Amino acid sequence: MQLAHRLTALAAVLSFAAFAQAQGTGPIKIGLMLPYTGTYAGLGNAIENGFKLYVQEQGGKLAGREIQYFKVDDESEPSKATDNVNKLIKRDNVDVLVGTVHSGVALAMAKAAKDSNTLLIVPNAGADAITGPMCAANIVRSSFSNWQPGYGTGIVAGQKGYKKAMTITWNYAAGAEAVKGFADGFEKGGGKVVKDLNLPFPNVEFQALLTEIAAQKPDVVFAFFAGGGAVKFVKDYAAAGLNKTVPLMGSGFLTDGTLEAQGAAAQGLLTALHYADDLDTPRNNSFRKNYALAYKANADVYAVQGYDAAQILNAGLTAAKGDLAKRDAITAAMRKVTVDSPRGKFTISAAGNPVQDIYLREVKGNNNEFRSIAAKALADPARGCKL
């Protein structure tokens, strides 16, 4: 075939694809913006796996539409976030954005999604502002706000009778907001946070800060770390002998997806989160079994959040019978859904954040085992959201 004929044929194929997509018959384009490198790489992979598992369980389609994936590694790097998200919005022309893990990157994604009116489902990053002052009809979170697990941990620390706490975290939105949640819960029970320690993300040189904890001897330490940084922190805390003298608690990210690497250092740690590995429900059992079969790995909270992101999208698309042009039907259904999650059923607030139980968990072997409900049907305060 001559070049001109080939180009004409190619143009016809491309315009047919665009036509099919607009008519609601072509694939739905999903842009996954997640960390695939760096300290949060494991979290990004688990989210993608969970999302794809749910789609596979629906026969590879949502609301009768094929799914086509586009991927960007955001490296948990806020300075590259706007360029990265625009690759998906402007270059790949995706219908739905799914991302990300790091709150600083997610804030830039949320701004771009708002400006371009692209649907966004946040499958991890807890930045309070996304479902606070930045809330929007086209943005929903399948995970948590940073405040929620921090608050649940603070409530439990207060119930345990601790009076004086120190906190330690990375110096960015997620750490600061988790610490604020902890302080709110802890102070409600009569406790006081006497000192906040932090270091830049994703630094893992903890030694000087551990020395300060040993010198101050608080009743309890609250930590927010996740991924590779959480592995190193929990091991360093034990290596310094602090696990024998100062109880360590945290938002459950401290011990989720990390236990094989943390080994003995994590045993017995108490954390609070919206998931526990051993929730003995048919939904969680089948999810964990299918995940293990598909990926030869144990599911964790990040896999659950990816799975639930796909469930929320499915609810929206099903209400619109797969027609992306019916935006109001999609966004309304994504708010109205009761998600039948492996974590237990949850609803979505007007601001777009899960209203969910926060569990107290204890590390036993390679599991975060359920102990009790730290906070029932906890809603984020959603300060500043005007919807």
Which residues are registered as beta bridge partners of 362?
A: 270, 369
Please identify, using beta-carbon distances, which residue of 162 and 225 lies nearer to ligand BEZ.
Answer: 225
3-state DSSP percent of the chain in helix, strand and coil, to 5:
45, 20, 30
Site size with ligand BEZ, rule: CB under 6 A:
11
Q: How far is the CB of 226 from ligand BEZ (least distance, A)?
A: 4
User: ∠ CA 223-227-229 to the nearest 5 degrees?
Assistant: 60
Please identify, using beta-carbon distances, which residue of 101 and 315 lies nearer to ligand BEZ.
Answer: 101
- By CB under 6 A, residue 141 contacts ligand BEZ: no
147-159 and 173-188 are packed helices; what angle lies between their axes, rounded to 10 degrees?
30
State the alpha helices, DSSP H only, in the chain.
3-22, 41-57, 81-86, 103-116, 147-159, 173-188, 207-216, 227-239, 259-262, 282-295, 301-319, 327-336
- By CB under 6 A, residue 31 contacts ligand BEZ: no
**DSSP type of residue 246:** S
- By CB under 6 A, residue 134 contacts ligand BEZ: no
Which of 196, 192, 250 shows the shortest CA–CA distance to 225? 250
- Which residue stretch of 21-29, 67-75, 99-107, 368-376 sits at the interface with ligand BEZ (rule: CB under 6 A)? 99-107
- Which residue stretch of 19-27, 100-108, 109-117, 365-373 sits at the interface with ligand BEZ (rule: CB under 6 A)? 100-108
- b/e burial code for range 72-89 (CB count within 10 A of at least 16 → b): bbbbbebeebeebbeebb
Please identify, using beta-carbon distances, which residue of 89 and 101 lies nearer to ligand BEZ.
Answer: 101
Please identify, using beta-carbon distances, which residue of 89 and 226 lies nearer to ligand BEZ.
Answer: 226
Q: How far is the CB of 225 from ligand BEZ (least distance, A)?
A: 8
**Radius of gyration of the chain, Cα coordinates, nearest whole angstrom:** 21
Please identify, using beta-carbon distances, which residue of 26 and 227 lies nearer to ligand BEZ.
Answer: 227
Residues 231-270 that bind ligand BEZ (CB under 6 A): 253
Per-residue tokens: 118: 């692209």
- Which residue stretch of 5-13, 96-104, 159-167, 369-377 sits at the interface with ligand BEZ (rule: CB under 6 A)? 96-104
- Which residue stretch of 14-22, 101-109, 160-168, 322-330 sits at the interface with ligand BEZ (rule: CB under 6 A)? 101-109
- By CB under 6 A, residue 341 contacts ligand BEZ: no
Q: How far is the CB of 268 from ligand BEZ (least distance, A)?
A: 22
**Neighbour tally for 268: CB within 10 Å:** 11
Residue of closest CB approach to ligand BEZ:
174
Please identify, using beta-carbon distances, which residue of 253 and 359 lies nearer to ligand BEZ.
Answer: 253
Query: Which of 88, 101, 315, 351 is the binder for ligand BEZ (CB under 6 A)?
Result: 101
Please identify, using beta-carbon distances, which residue of 126 and 158 lies nearer to ligand BEZ.
Answer: 126
User: ∠ CA 274-280-285 to the nearest 5 degrees?
Assistant: 95
Cis peptide before 100 (omega within 30 of 0): yes
282-295 and 301-319 are packed helices; what angle lies between their axes, rounded to 10 degrees?
110
Residue 267: what are its φ and ψ, rounded to 5°?
-60, 130
Q: How far is the CB of 150 from ligand BEZ (least distance, A)?
A: 10
Which of 129, 210, 212, 206 shows the shortest CA–CA distance to 173? 129
Q: How far is the CB of 109 from ligand BEZ (least distance, A)?
A: 12
- By CB under 6 A, residue 169 contacts ligand BEZ: no
**Neighbour tally for 199: CB within 10 Å:** 17
- By CB under 6 A, residue 174 contacts ligand BEZ: yes
Instruction: Provide the mask over 111-130, with x wherever binding to ligand BEZ is found by CB under 6 A and - wherever it is not.
Output: -------------xxxx---
Q: How far is the CB of 318 from ligand BEZ (least distance, A)?
A: 29
Query: Which of 146, 169, 271, 331 is the binder for ligand BEZ (CB under 6 A)?
Result: 146
Which residues are registered as beta bridge partners of 31?
A: 70, 97
Query: Which of 109, 226, 266, 337 is the binder for ligand BEZ (CB under 6 A)?
Result: 226
Reduce the DSSP state of residue 220 to 3 states and report it.
strand
Residues that bind ligand BEZ (CB under 6 A): 101-103, 124-127, 146, 174, 226, 253
